[in-house]
Structure 1
């Protein structure tokens, strides 16, 4: 479990395969907790080993599990509500039996969203017009694809641009967008990003969740080797991408809010690099597990609203109903951090 917990400190492009252990941390932690309870009931000294191990991974636990009964704080100061949402092309291929053209604007209104970052934005007859947002910055067509990234805002935008990743950072030439937005909290640089995914197929997911034990052993082993190679390659690419993203954020003249599908969990190098400069509102105002991806049975949190320390979160939600995509929208209500002048 310790290797899994601290794998996030090791760059995946330097030491291969270690990052995969981070995906297993929640399961390993729960198993260790169960063993600890067992040894405690049996009054065995082995319980001390479980206690020491659990104490050593408390920071990682806090990034995955939060108080289920957190009381909502009430603030009288100005706030701005930010939402990040991977919309999966606005359901262009009808993955879910829902009218997203109607339901997405309705959901955003209920969340009180004022600044919205969209990943996998796609303009078609199924796209909502999102007319409640007066200002927008949309970039599509990079990576030779018809979809891309978008920032929508109820506040005026100043400078806005697309920043490509360097040629040696990712072979399909991705990037991220940003907009400097004049909010009630002052000028904030909003960055919208979508880091490279594992590109898992339905067959890959079935191999993980429902492996066919009766299948030819050699073929099953070969399939697992291929899958592990695909996962490791994505970890390596994201390591390169996130270091570029971190440099851009560190150079910002204004406080930053990152709205992103990172395709990585909190026990990852990607998350660790970004949270050196940014805070995670889930750890300040979240509850439960906060998983954001619904295509697997495992509760992965891979979508984020991260922000500069000059801001603080007073509310954090993951809207898991209605299901409008294979990702859930993540919303954070932010205010100025009065402890930092």
Structure 2
């Protein structure tokens, strides 16, 4: 076989493989009722798989090959099933002072973004949060310190959770300018991650707010190079299975809610994962409706992950969404505003 023929054969093989993986990932994320770790992990890399199919299709067009139809078909299937990871919101924000606003932020216990100390990061984080003036603030990996207590005095109502008996969870908190009627914790088993909720009295209505921190993936750019690939695959697969169990616990709890609810927090997975899609259900993703760009929420240069979300009751009107590029933690904060339906 000539070198040119061998190259063409290999190029076709790569093109077929990329198209197959993208189509399979779309089916797995929507109608394929199965749990396969490989495709769960592929969801983390799906934006790159989309880009690879785009370039392979362009190359096939340049080479005038009819095989360009394969990546085109896979990209169309992706776009109409899972949706784009890039959002362009043409509608301007129409938030008013009467709207309900919520800020979600994983603050990494205020220890900074690997380049900052607690003394540097903590006041910057708290000042930033206060500047946004959201009516509800949900913290993941919080730290209840003298500084945070002093800074958050602007919020008259609060609920903290991190320790129960002999069990310690990554601390979480919900601050509110609305009265808290009730609050509680879901206490995820065999995990340091957790979800908490508060029932808030807003005028004459009651709204339940879930603050969620699903099982952590726990990998950094350096660990991808150092860790054995088989061990990394197995560990991430185990983590995603744990996330699915936690989602089932959370969804079971929402079914007993007497009030409409929103879910926000750090899901530790992408919008293409079964974890996100199952948790989202009929709720509306504020970023997809009012956001712009990639919406990256994790300070991780290798992959533009969006793993922090605000999911809102479908009967509410979303009026704004903002991703903030402040590098005080290993996460970027997100904020959304919405209105309750008129009665």
TM-score, length of structure 1 as denominator length? 0.84
2:107 is the alignment partner of 1:87: yes
- Distance, in Å, in 1 between the alignment partners of 2:322 and 2:336 is 7
Aligned-partner SS, 1:333: strand
Aligned-partner SS, 1:5: helix
Which residue is 1:134 aligned to? Answer: 156
- Distance, in Å, in 2 between the alignment partners of 1:93 and 1:289 is 21
Which residue is 1:110 aligned to? Answer: 131
Aligned-partner SS, 2:292: coil
Residue 168 of structure 2 contacts residue 192 of structure 2 at CA under 8 Å; is this kept in 1?
no
Residue 113 of structure 2 contacts residue 330 of structure 2 at CA under 8 Å; is this kept in 1?
no
Count of residues in Structure 1 that have an aligned counterpart in Structure 2: 318
Which residue is 1:314 aligned to? Answer: 319
Which residue is 1:186 aligned to? Answer: 205
Which residue is 2:281 aligned to? Answer: 276
Aligned-partner SS, 2:186: strand
Quote how far apart the aligned CAs of 1:61 are: 5.5
Summarize deviations over 1:85-126 as a string: whole Å, max 9, x none: 111001179752573333223322333311011111122355
Which residue is 2:52 aligned to? Answer: 31
Residue 5 of structure 1 contacts residue 25 of structure 1 at CA under 8 Å; is this kept in 2?
no
- RMSD over aligned Cα, in angstroms? 2.7
- Greater Rg, structure 1 or structure 2? 2
Which residue is 1:145 aligned to? Answer: 168
2:334 to 319, 327, 330: 330
Once the two structures are overlaid, the 10-residue window that deviates more, 73-82 or 134-143, is 73-82
Unmatched runs of 5 consecutive residues or more in structure 2 = 1-21
Residue 82 of structure 1 contacts residue 331 of structure 1 at CA under 8 Å; is this kept in 2?
yes
**Normalized per residue, which structure has more helix?**
2
Residue 86 of structure 1 contacts residue 325 of structure 1 at CA under 8 Å; is this kept in 2?
yes
Summarize deviations over 1:140-196 as a string: whole Å, max 9, x none: 11583374111000111111111223xxxx423753211111225932100111111
Which residue is 2:194 aligned to? Answer: 175
- Distance, in Å, in 2 between the alignment partners of 1:207 and 1:103 is 28
2:261 is the alignment partner of 1:256: yes
- Distance, in Å, in 1 between the alignment partners of 2:241 and 2:308 is 19
Distance 1:63 1:312, change over 3 A: farther
1:230 to 235, 244, 254: 235
- Distance, in Å, in 2 between the alignment partners of 1:95 and 1:127 is 21
Which residue is 2:300 aligned to? Answer: 295
Distance 1:108 1:77, change over 3 A: closer
Once the two structures are overlaid, the 10-residue window that deviates more, 123-132 or 51-60, is 123-132
TM-score, length of structure 2 as denominator length? 0.83
- Distance, in Å, in 1 between the alignment partners of 2:262 and 2:130 is 20
2:76 is the alignment partner of 1:55: yes
| Larger relative contact order, structure 1 or 2 (CA cutoff 8 Å, min sep 6) | 1
- Distance, in Å, in 1 between the alignment partners of 2:93 and 2:186 is 37
Unmatched runs of 5 consecutive residues or more in structure 1 = 213-219
Aligned-partner SS, 2:278: helix
Which residue is 1:206 aligned to? Answer: 222
Quote how far apart the aligned CAs of 1:62 are: 3.2
- Distance, in Å, in 2 between the alignment partners of 1:95 and 1:185 is 46
- Distance, in Å, in 1 between the alignment partners of 2:73 and 2:33 is 26
Distance 1:47 1:78, change over 3 A: farther
- Distance, in Å, in 2 between the alignment partners of 1:252 and 1:312 is 20
